[in-house]
Structure 1
Amino acid sequence: MGIQDIIEGKKQWRAHTARVKALPPDYQIVYKEMQKYLFKVGPVDLPDGNLLSGIVDFFEEGVAAGKGVLELIGTDVAAFCDDLVKNSRTYADIYQASISEELGTPEK
C-alpha cells in the first residue's frame, strides 16, 4: 500500500463521514451504533467492502422517503446488523474458532 492509496482512502473516508453527518440526528445515532457493533463483531472484510456505504445509501433513501430510522431497521440494531453479515466470516467466528482450538474441541 503506497502513500497515494492511503491518501485516497482518507479522502473516501472523509466523504463517507460527511454523508453520515448530513443525515438527520436519529439516523446518525443509529448509524454510529451500527458502525460500533460492526467494527466489534462484523465481517472480516468490512474495511475493504462497501457495507458501511451501503448502509448510508439505504439511510439516505429512507430520509428521502420521509421514513424514520426505526421504520427501516426495526428496534433491534444488533439483529439488523447480524442479518446484514449473516453469510460473512466475522471476527466473532474467528474468536470462537480460536477458543475451540485452545480447549481441544472440534469446530462446528
Structure 2
Amino acid sequence: MGIQDIIEGKKQWRAHVARVKALPPDYQIVYKEMQKYLFKVGPIGLADGGLLPGIIDFFEEGVAAGKGVLELIGNDVAAFCDDLIKDSHTYADAYQESTSGKSSTDEE
C-alpha cells in the first residue's frame, strides 16, 4: 500500500463521515451504534466493502421518504445488523475456525 492509497483512503473516509454528519441526529446515533457493532463482530472485509456506504444510502432514502430511522430498521439494531451480515464471513467465524483447527475451505 503506497502513500497515494493511504491518502485516497482518507479522502474516502472523510467523505463517508461527512455523509453521516448530514443525516438527522436520530439517524446518526443509530448509524454510529451499527458501525460500532459491525466493527466489533462484522464481516472481515468490512473496511473494503460497500456495507457501510450502503447503510448510508439506505438511510438517505429513508430521510428523503420522511421516515424515522426505527421505521426502517426496527427496534433491535443488533438484529438488523446480524441480518445484514448473515451470509458474510465474520471475525467470530475466523476465531472459531482458528480454535477448532478448521479453515473455511475444509470439508465437514
Shift in Å at residue 99 of structure 1? Answer: 3.1
Q: Show the counterpart of 1:12.
A: 12
For residues 97 and 78 of structure 1, the distance between their equivalents in structure 2, rounded to whole angstroms, comes to 23
Q: Show the counterpart of 1:41.
A: 41
Q: Show the counterpart of 2:70.
A: 70
Shift in Å at residue 54 of structure 1? Answer: 0.3
Q: TM-score, normalised by structure 1?
A: 0.91
Shift in Å at residue 72 of structure 1? Answer: 0.1
Amino acid at match of 2:51: L
Q: Percent identity?
A: 84
Amino acid at match of 1:71: E
CA displacement, residues 4-53 of structure 1 (integer Å, 9 cap, x when unaligned): 01000000000000000000000000000000000000000101101000
Q: TM-score, normalised by structure 2?
A: 0.91
3-state secondary structure, aligned to 2:23: coil
Q: Show the counterpart of 2:104.
A: none
CA displacement, residues 50-107 of structure 1 (integer Å, 9 cap, x when unaligned): 1000000000000000000000000010110011011110001112223334xxxxxx
For residues 40 and 97 of structure 1, the distance between their equivalents in structure 2, rounded to whole angstroms, comes to 17
Deviating beyond 6 angstroms after TM superposition, the runs of 4 or more aligned structure 1 residues are none
Corresponding pairs, count: 103
1:1-108 to 2 correspondence within 5 Å? 1-101=1-101
Amino acid at match of 1:2: G
